[in-house]
Chains A and B, each alone.
Chain A
Amino acid sequence: MENIDCIRISRPSNEMIDFLERTQHRKKAQMDKICEKYHKLIKG
């Protein structure tokens, strides 16, 4: 099997950009919530 170390998608569709943007929003919302929990735990 061909050995690859980088995949380059230079012309992403709107669908893929939508997926990446959704992922970015999900990551931010999730990390905001979890970090808030740890802030409360540490600072009381």
Chain B
Amino acid sequence: MAANGPAQTHGLRPGMPLAQAMALAPDAVVAPHDPDTDRRLLDVLAERCGLYSPWTATEGACGLWLDVAGCGHLFGGETDLLDQLSGKLKSLGLTNRAALAPTPGAAWAWARFGDPAAPILEEMDQLAPLPLAALRLSPRMVGDLAALGLRRIGELLDLPRPQVSLRFGRDVLWRLDQALGVEPEPISSIRPVAPHRVHMAFVEPMSRVEDIAEALRRLLAELCNRLIQDGLGARRLDFTLFRVDGTLCRVEIGTGAPSHDPGHLFRLFRDRLADIRPGFGIEAVRLDAVATQAQTAEQSDLDGPAGGGDLPHLLDSLSNRLGPRRLMRLLPHPSHIPERCVRRRPPGAPTTVGEWPAGRYPIRLLAHPDPIDAMAPIPDAPPLRFRWQGRLHQVVRADGPERIAPEWWHEDAEERDYYRVEDTQGLRFWLYRQGHYGQPEPPRWYLHGVFP
């Protein structure tokens, strides 16, 4: 059994049998433990805390990590950030304690055992009086250490390091080093955080597009330098703008091939900058290389202006401007069903190019075959005339039928008999009939495409 704050004032304690608790406080509300729902709530909270920092993660069953490095100024300082964060959680009905420290380990300790009146840990020395449980050691280890007379972090610090390691195992020293920042502690954020990230805060909030563009230009120059050093090119970049009122907006661009050319990347952003609404002003901006890829010397040749090799650049510009999945190459797909024989692929140079089987194809295939009224003189003959979109077409030339059977795994689909017909105007159409004459259900005619 667990017990919240008000319950504990009635003498209830975590771990107490339920019967005993009900005897002590008959009015207590009892809810069954639902770890899955708790987990989901914690995940939602972690997302929500993205307002305070782009880097958030959950910790254990009831903790949240936030890396707020460089975020404090957005909220009027780190104290205000903690106040706002804590107040927000409280307004959601969640008891919480927040602390800020230079390392995750120290923050963990300070949030649970530190001084709630001073939630920011300024000096590592302040950890010394805290109990050893603050080091995230197992209860058993804490008990063992207590049996040896060690109760506080400071006492552990006073011991020679080799002796600690030797007597209590590597874990104790490891947790101590994590708290002190000697040992790095990698924690993964719920949102992937780009290893290549640059940011810039402004003294005065800005709202002019030109100023934002200039800031972006500088960030790109810095980011690209770092990418070049690492032999990488960007595939996706997020440009995040932090507004004065604590909200943010984001512009994302993608490239077809890795690039570390600041000029090219800036052009991809340029036309999107006009869409930014600065609100009361932009206080800080951040640029993340969300996806990167090794960029070989050969690929970087594409960046050069020579040889008309700037097709990848053009495709990037067009893709970003027209919107996702609006620019493509149309590749053969092995299907004899007309509407399935084309596959849409990203516009970069196709790696595999097959061929469509020889034959006559309509130049325009309707996305949905259009039902038409058709007059056929005898079964299995092309229609003499048909009406489509309110216009009557007199057929003067016809070819067919070509039977296209459905793919066998589409059990209820019917076969189609296709005809190529030409009307008196020289318009050429692709019609098909579904069903047969002489059946209870009359056959249906459709127009599926137009020929050149």
Binding partners A and B? no
